[in-house]
Each structure stands twice: as structure tokens, then as C-alpha cells.
Amino acid sequence: MSQFKSIEFRNGMFRYLDQTKLPLKEKYIETDDYERIALAIERLEVRGAPAIGISAAYAIALGMKNVTDNYKVSFKKIYDRLAATRPTAVNLFWALDEMENYFSTLNSYENLYGLLLSQAKNIHDDDINKCDKIGENGLEIFNKESVVLTHCNTGRLATGGEGTALSIIKKGFENGKVKFVYSDETRPLLQGSRLTAFELSKSGIPFAINTDSAAAMLMSQNKIDIVITGADRIAVNGDSANKIGTYNLAVLCNYHKIPFYIAAPTSTIDKSCKDGSSINIEERNKSEVTNVNGVKVTRDDYNVYSPAFDVTPNELITGIITEESLHKPPYNF
């Protein structure tokens, strides 16, 4: 299997694979500017809840590198800028809070950059380990060699390691439990057809891209054994926010009696969120719908409804797989 790193820190620079160019072009960008990382998150050059959090942690360290006074003021400015990039991904706020909590424990700001960078690397390493454990824990959901349908992108491009849902799929393929994958194209930004297809191809896993609207047909023809997606925020009761279209799949799975699983690290669980009704759903710019890869497909003066995420109610979720275990309903995180 061909490996690649979507985000890494080396030689004093944050390096990331620009996901807006995939799969047609593999372009890596290096920067030591926290504002450039913030823009990368906003522009979806870096995306995926865990990857966003890791990137923000490195951005905090880089932003504080040359600060020589007013440390707390500078930290808050950088924190607030990064917190404003993507409101739904709880991993972003988890990572920022981890960095803030660490910063608040320091009695001296000598070698501050080195200390913050070490903490960011710890967050990155922790996610790599969590991804591996999610993959292992997910093996128990397969009772036969299966055809899996997945949505959006949940692999190396979305995390610091092998991924969440894709980690399970990759591990399942390696162990003879997954034989084929259908990847929802995932409108409007096509993370499935651009990114998940890119990763499946790199991993040598047989797959096909399907239009989002073809999922029901696939299920009705008994071509799908199991559906696994990721999550950007999970409420205490198990309600899960994920890429728009995930809720559709859960409803279809319920009708067709197909298991529907969520895979995410525990950092995606928002302990302050009782249920899905309190999850803040990001709305994207309408140009992402009216234009595709820079080509106008409809008029700009038309109104557009384009939420980035939807919330799947807990009663539609067969299980939630974290690095801790496979959680079954009723959920009470």
C-alpha cells in the first residue's frame, strides 16, 4: 500500500497536502505562518475534524514563536482566529483547549515555542494511535467479507493517522473482511470522489464512486452490507453531526435494514452537548454549489441552501466506534 502524509511538521515548517487540488494534482504547501494555516482550514485545503485540530495546534506554536511580550494577549488573539475557522468540528476546539490548558500551566515562557511545539506533536501522535485503535476495534462489526459504503473522507487526509471510518475499511481489507467499497461522491465539494477515491486507490482497495443519489438503488439491489462514516461532533446521547448527506444514508440503512456505524475518536464527543439540537451547523458559501471546480453551473443570483453538515439521530446509529471500544445504544457518553 502506498503511504503519504497529509499533514506533518518538519524543519520548522508545517507541511500539508492541498486537498482542493486532489486527485488531479498532489501539491504540498509549507508555511510557518499561523494565519496561512487558518486560511488553509477555512478554504478546506486542510479538512477533516482530527486533522483540523492537529493543524490548529501547530498553528498555535508557530504563532507564538516570535512573541517576546504580552504573551497571554498574543495567545488569545491566535486562539480566537483559529477558533473562528470551522465552527462544527469539535476536535478543533478540543485541540485549541489542550494547547491553552498547557500554556496556562507554564510558570516561565523561556523556550515557549519549543514547549508548545512539543505539545502539538503530542496531540498529533495521540491521534495516530487513536486511528490505529479505531481500526482494530472496528473489525468486530464485520461478520462476513463485506461490501462497504462510506461518505465524505475519513482517512489519512482527514486525520493524523490512518483515519477513522477508512481506518476500519483498510484494516478490514487487510484481514479479509472488506472486499469492495462504494464511495459516495459527497456533493457539493466531492470529498468522496476526489479524496476517498484517491486514498482507496493508493491503498489498493477495489472501489467505485457512486453519486449520492444512487445509494438507495445500491441498497435496494442488496449491494451494500454495511455503511461506515465519520463524525465531526458527537453529542452525549450519540446524535452525530457529519458531512451533509450522512443523515440520508442513516435513514436509507434503517429502511433497508443495513447496519450504520459512526467512527470517531473520543475527542469528537462533545460532553457539553446534550443532544444534536445544540450542535452549531456551519453553512458554506453558495458559490460551492453554483460553481464546480471554477466552472459556473447555474446562476449566481439564485438562492442556495448549503449546510456543511447534518445531524443523524442516535436511534439510527447501530454503533459508534472509538479508540476505546465499539459503543452500542443506548449511548451515554
**pLDDT the model gives residue 88:** 86
Q: Residue 293 has what pLDDT?
A: 85
In DSSP terms, which residues pair with 243 in a beta bridge?
309
Res 89: pLDDT: 82
Q: Three-state SS string across the chain, please? A: CCCCCCEEEECCEEEEECHHHCCCCCCEEEECCHHHHHHHHHCCCCCCHHHHHHHHHHHHHHHCCCCCCCHHHHHHHHHHHHHCCCCCCHHHHHHHHHHHHHHHHCCCCCCHHHHHHHHHHHHHHHHHHHHHHHHHHHHHHCCCCEEEEECCCCCCCCCCCCCCHHHHHHHHHHCCCEEEEEEECCCCCCHHHHHHHHHHHHHCCCEEEECHHHHHHHHHCCCCCEEEECCCEECCCCCEEEECCHHHHHHHHHHHCCCEEEECCHHHECCCCCCHHHCCCCECCCHHHHEECCEECCCCCCCCCCECEEEECHHHCCEEECCCCEECCCCCC
β-partners of residue 31 are: 14
Per-residue model confidence as pLDDT tens for the chain (333 residues):
557 899 999 999 999 999 999 999 999 999 999 999 999 999 999 999 999 999 999 999 999 999 999 999 999 999 999 999 998 889 999 999 999 999 999 999 999 999 999 999 999 999 999 999 999 999 999 999 999 999 999 999 999 999 999 999 999 999 999 999 999 999 999 999 999 999 999 999 999 999 999 999 999 999 999 999 999 999 999 999 999 999 999 999 999 999 999 999 999 999 999 999 999 999 999 999 999 988 999 999 999 999 999 999 999 999 999 999 999 999 999
> Using an 8 Å Cβ cutoff, are 321 and 327 in contact?
yes
pLDDT of residue 139: 98
| Cα–Cα separations (whole angstroms), residue 308 to 137, 247, 261, 281 | 28, 12, 20, 7
Beta-carbon contacts of 232 under 8 Å, excluding residues fewer than 6 positions away, are 49, 88, 89, 90, 91, 241, 242, 243, 268, 309
Closest CA to 92 of 119, 117, 122, 60: 60
Number of neighbouring beta carbons within 10 Å of residue 168: 31
Q: Which residues are catalytically annotated? A: 232
Q: Whose CA is closest to 329, among 270, 260, 278?
A: 260
Note the pLDDT of residue 2: 55
Q: Which domains does the chain have, with CATH numbers?
A: 7-132 (1.20.120.420), 136-327 (3.40.50.10470)
For the record, the C-alpha cell of 272 comes out as 457539553
